[in-house]
Amino acid sequence: MGKKFIKFEFLLLFAVFIIATCGLVYELVAGTLASYLLGDSVKQFSFIIGVYLFSMGIGSFFSKFFNKNLLNTFVEIEILVGLIGGLSSVVLFLLFESVASFQFILYLLVFVTGFLVGLEIPLLMNILKDKVEFKDLVSNVFTFDYIGALLASILFPLILVPKLGIMGTSLFFGMINISIAIVLCFILKSELKRSYFLKAKAIFSFLLLLTVFIFSESILSYSEGKLYGENIIYTNSTPYQRIVLTHNKSDYRLYLNNNLQFSSADEYRYHEALVHPVMSIAKKIDRVLVLGGGDGLAVREILKYKDVKAITLVDLDQGMTKLFKTNKVLTDFNQNSLNNSKVTVINTDAYIWAKSCKVKYDVVIIDFPDPSNYSLGKLYSLNFYQTIQNIIQPDAAVVVQTTSPYFAPKSFWCINKTVMAVFPQVDAYHAYVPSFGEWGFTIAINGFNTTFNTVNRKVSGLKFYNYQFDRFNYFTGDMISNEIEINRLDNQILVRYFDEEWGKLQ
Amino acid sequence: MIRLSGTKHLLGHRLWIKDFPEPVSQIQTSYLIVGGGISGLSAARQLTKRGISDFVLVEMEGHLGGNSSNGENQYSKYPLGAHYLPLPNFQDKELLNFLEEEKIILSYDTKGFPVFDELQLTFAPDERLFYKNSWQEGVVPKEGNSKAEEEELVAFFKLMDTFRAGKGQDGKYLFDIPLYLSSTDENSRSLDKITMKEWFVKNNFTSEPLFNYIDYCCKDDFGLGIEYVSAWAGIHYFAGRKQDVTSDKIESVLTWPEGNARLTSHLKRYSKDKALKNHLVYELKIENNKVIAKTFDDHKKTTVAIVADKVIMATPQFVNQYILKERKQYAKEFHYAPWLLATLVVSDLGDNFSFPLSWDNVIYGAKGLGYVYDQHQSLNQVQSKKVITYYYSFSGPDLKKTRKEIHKKKTDYWKQMVFDDLKMAHPDIESVTEEMNVFVLGHGMISPVPGFIFGEAKKQASKSIENRVYFAHTDLSGISIFEEAFHQGVNVVNQILDETTLDS
């Protein structure tokens, strides 16, 4: 009898140890996730520890209302803690984007876990109180409780998160938690009532966690999709950027390094505004040069003009142009423009390429990413536009994607002023693209034999641009900025403006 | 992969024992230029400009350029010495003309200011400093100073502004470039008698960031730190450049991936087919109104006698003392700081999301002078590998002793020294470095210790010998900068030709 009892006590104390370890792991998981998703780690950790300890207190308080079937209740709670704690990180990951009251759910989960763990210790002491000396009981239970806590807090940052990830860690400990319940069910089956029922419950819960654990990788990528708020249908990391294509109802969106490149619902506005003014204004359109624009959408618009003899597209990223030549969804968007026989795609650095280019173009369409760093800033410099001027015909027309005049008026007019220092005729215009906001362009003519209001040619069937340029070049006061400098390689003032203006918004 | 190289000190040191063969052939020329550094190349240019084409230039190294030379790896060119030219002073027409000839100045604007080629001015961002655990813009310590430190910095720069604008009673700038144009004003010249540190203390400066900043600047331009350099030279660093050549940008510099080797490549056009490389002049004598230069050809291992009417010694005085008689007493007053440059190919350079990689990257409190990003002037969006050149000057009280110790050290020693110094800002530098080229210059540059610039030795060493042998080198200016070398070359030719005119 004595021997058997020692085993019984030891088993339950081991359970305390595991409960303490798991409990703290859940708490750390919640804290880490909260600071990961919400930021401000000091605040998140502080609140979560507070709420967790408080709810343990509540749990302890309520333990006195359990009087019957204590051992059964203990095992039940063990299963429940494992299930809730184990799944907490998965639930939080999945709900982050779609639930407005994310914080409420976060603290609710912390509260419930804390409450259940809080119940367990007093419950256990009640089970053992008649069998062990009270002094020994208190001392043993708390010893194991605190050792468990130490173990968890050491393992968590050093081994668990690096090896298993946050989601894996919580699921793994959920399984350990439930394993204890299963072990208890088997060993103490004589002392338990309806132990088969408990056994079934425990095993089912264990299998559930195991399944989620196995699929946690794909859940994680699904939740990345949730971060975008849309379904990710394609991702690819090229040496230059991360390309993500998402799909939501009838809308496809392309993100480059998490910046929206286009939305299929309204990209026609952007690309019509980008392409058709220069195409109608230029004296000739035999040779058209596109810099950037690897999605082929601008080329699609250019190809509407049958007089165009050759289009050269220079884009740094082969991964990008290849994708838009081969992917069925994407070639539907650009109408297979990049595979058109008039189109030559060159994957190289546009600046370097332009420096050595010997051909003279009639139209140049410059569609680079916004000048968000010093590398990209070079592509908006005075010297760059001088380089462009060297490779165009007299009276050629040039258009430059010029970021948003509403969000970044200084940046917008800085580019405009820089272009103005090079070309004889320069103007600016803008268009509203719902997914971007108010967007702007700088346009230039390399001569005086045509004007911005001249329409040398037009195509029919456009949805947005109506060839009335003077409807697009009026800027309201909130899109104007004065006293700006020309962007040069040796000052890169544009990158500073851009950082100042867009930095404000983030 | 680590490689160690340097100037040809083994060949140079044969001047001590002169175990060279006797001449087997002879070359006749009107003018002989000894030394193919900037002074010599500039002299060749000036001779050409003044209509003289009968001259020969000899150089000990296998290439021209001296301190304005470069190396190259598969990713980039990189400097093996001087790597930039600050915008010249507006009054320095001679230099401005050269820059215009070489299309570094493209035109002059309506106000008469030169328009520099955007591609040859340092791209932004040009400088950053690793200070208080993060990178900040500029090399002057700014963020994180106490109020008192801030005030000292402001006061110091204000003082330098005064020195920059200041003129003596003779109407000349107190501090000018080239240096010989500076005023003879006694007050400012007396600054040459004390060290920069003594001046710092005398002016009641105490702040550590300011001290370290000045120390960095002195080492950067003179190879000697604040404790050893003349205060006149130290102040000249800040006050010599008038920053008056453009209307908008006051402190820009011209730079190229290969550093000032770009300027060498422009200048050496003038000595095309007239330059003998791997040739070491080991003895110079005046006989029968001719100068005979015994010159060792290091490739053929034979000696040729070059017979010239006049010779321009565009060589440093530590070399001249072995070639010409009775020059040791001057040479011992000339001190040269050794330098070490290390060019690294790195796969990545983290900047802990503070200020991004710049052209000049200085680490506060480091032993070296930081590093230059050699591909900074590239127009490319991305670089598969980054190439950086680390600079280190051996400042100290006894440069001769230091030099001896340097030549005993092995490659691994330098490798570790460079890594340890860069680790302050880049803890992972060792693991991201794929290649390192260490280049040691035993006599890196003339170092203006107190009393040197306006001292007797320099004055005497500059004097020509019997209107036959003339001298041109930055060590005769006292500070080792491109502008001085350029003018040394121009002036020595003008001196020779204008004297001749007077004579006849």
**What is the length of chain A?**
506
Average pLDDT over residues B327-336: 95
Q: Which residues contact B288 (CB under 8 A, 6 or more apart)?
A: none
Distances (CA, A) of A76 to A54, A130, A180, A354, A362: 22, 22, 11, 72, 78
b/e sequence B262-286, b meaning 16+ C-beta within 10 Å = bbbbbbbebbeebbbbbbbbbbbee
DSSP A204: H
Average pLDDT over residues B208-228: 96
Average pLDDT over residues B306-323: 97
pLDDT tens digits for chain A (506 residues)?
A: 445 556 777 777 888 888 888 888 888 888 877 766 665 567 778 888 899 999 999 998 998 888 888 888 888 888 998 999 888 888 877 776 555 567 788 889 999 999 998 888 888 888 877 777 778 888 888 888 888 888 888 888 888 877 777 788 888 989 998 988 888 888 877 777 787 888 888 889 999 989 888 887 676 666 555 555 666 667 777 878 888 887 776 788 888 877 888 999 999 999 999 999 999 999 999 999 999 999 999 999 999 999 999 999 999 999 899 989 988 778 889 999 999 999 999 999 999 999 999 999 999 999 999 998 899 999 999 999 999 999 999 999 999 999 999 999 999 999 999 999 999 999 999 999 999 999 999 999 999 999 999 999 999 999 999 999 999 999 999 999 988 999 999 999 999 999 999 876 65
The DSSP bridge pattern shows strands B302-313 and B275-276 to be: unpaired
Between CA B314 and CA B324, with CA B318 as vertex, the angle to 5 degrees is 70
DSSP B121: B
Looking at residue B10, what is its pLDDT?
82
Average pLDDT over residues B62-66: 96
* pLDDT mean across residues, chain B: 94
DSSP A68: S
**Contact assignment for A489 to B123 by CB distance below 8 Å:** yes
Contact B37, B314 (CB under 8 A): yes
Residues of chain A in contact with residue B123, where contact means CB-CB under 8 angstroms, are 374, 378, 489-490, 492
CB burial of residue A105 (10 Å; 0-12, 13-18, 19+): middle
Distance from the B437 Cα atom to the nearest Cα atom in chain A, whole angstroms:
27
Distances (CA, A) of A419 to A357, A383, A487: 20, 10, 9
**Contact assignment for B382 to A239 by CB distance below 8 Å:** yes
Cis peptide before B257 (omega within 30 of 0): no
Q: Which residues contact A38 (CB under 8 A, 6 or more apart)?
A: A44, A102, A103
Calpha distance B152→B94 (Å, rounded): 37
Calpha distance A170→B373 (Å, rounded): 46
The SS3 assignment for A159 reads helix
Average pLDDT over residues B372-390: 95
The SS3 assignment for A381 reads coil
B388 Rama sector, left if φ>0, alpha if ψ -120 to 50, beta otherwise: beta
Looking at residue A502, what is its pLDDT?
83
Calpha distance B235→B140 (Å, rounded): 16
Structure tokens at B159: 């003082």
B173: β partners: B167
B132 Rama sector, left if φ>0, alpha if ψ -120 to 50, beta otherwise: left
Q: First-to-last CA distance in chain A?
A: 69
DSSP B88: P
- Residue-wise DSSP of B253-279: EEE-TTTTHHHHHHHGGGGTTTEETTE
- Report the residue from A352, A374, A490 with minimal CB separation from B356: A374
- Report the residue from B122, B356, B379 with minimal CB separation from A352: B379
**Contact assignment for B382 to A374 by CB distance below 8 Å:** no
**What is the length of chain B?**
504
Distance from the B382 Cα atom to the nearest Cα atom in chain A, whole angstroms:
8
Element (H, E) at A256: strand A251-256
In the structure, what pLDDT confidence band is assigned to residue B179 with cuts at 50, 70 and 90? very high
In the structure, what pLDDT confidence band is assigned to residue B24 with cuts at 50, 70 and 90? very high
Looking at residue A66, what is its pLDDT?
83
Average pLDDT over residues B212-223: 95
Q: Which residue has the higher pLDDT, A260 or B366?
A: B366
DSSP A479: G
> Is A307 designated active site?
no
Q: Which residues contact A136 (CB under 8 A, 6 or more apart)?
A: none
Closest CA to A237 of A338, A328, A320, A334: A320
Number of A/B CB contacts below 8 angstroms equals 54
Calpha distance A360→B358 (Å, rounded): 35
Looking at residue A99, what is its pLDDT?
57
Residues of chain A in contact with residue B379, where contact means CB-CB under 8 angstroms, are 349, 351-352, 355, 378
- Report the residue from B119, B124, B382 with minimal CB separation from A383: B119
In percent, how much of chain B has pLDDT > 90?
90
DSSP B396: S
**Contact assignment for B124 to A381 by CB distance below 8 Å:** no
Calpha distance A410→A416 (Å, rounded): 10
Residues of chain A in contact with residue B125, where contact means CB-CB under 8 angstroms, are 374, 492
The SS3 assignment for A122 reads helix
DSSP A157: I
Inter-helix orientation angle A216-228/A195-214, to 10°: 60
Calpha distance A179→A22 (Å, rounded): 12
Residues of chain B in contact with residue A493, where contact means CB-CB under 8 angstroms, are 124
Looking at residue A505, what is its pLDDT?
62
Distance from the B291 Cα atom to the nearest Cα atom in chain A, whole angstroms:
49
Calpha distance A243→B458 (Å, rounded): 65
Distance from the B253 Cα atom to the nearest Cα atom in chain A, whole angstroms:
10
Pick the catalytic residue from A295, A367, A395, A427.
A367
Q: What residue in B sits closest to A316 (Cα-Cα)?
A: B381
pLDDT digits (tens, 9 = 90+) for B484-502: 999 999 999 999 999 765 4
Residues of chain B in contact with residue A373, where contact means CB-CB under 8 angstroms, are 356
Structure tokens at A295: 């999605």
The DSSP bridge pattern shows strands B23-34 and B2-6 to be: unpaired
pTM exceeding 0.80? no
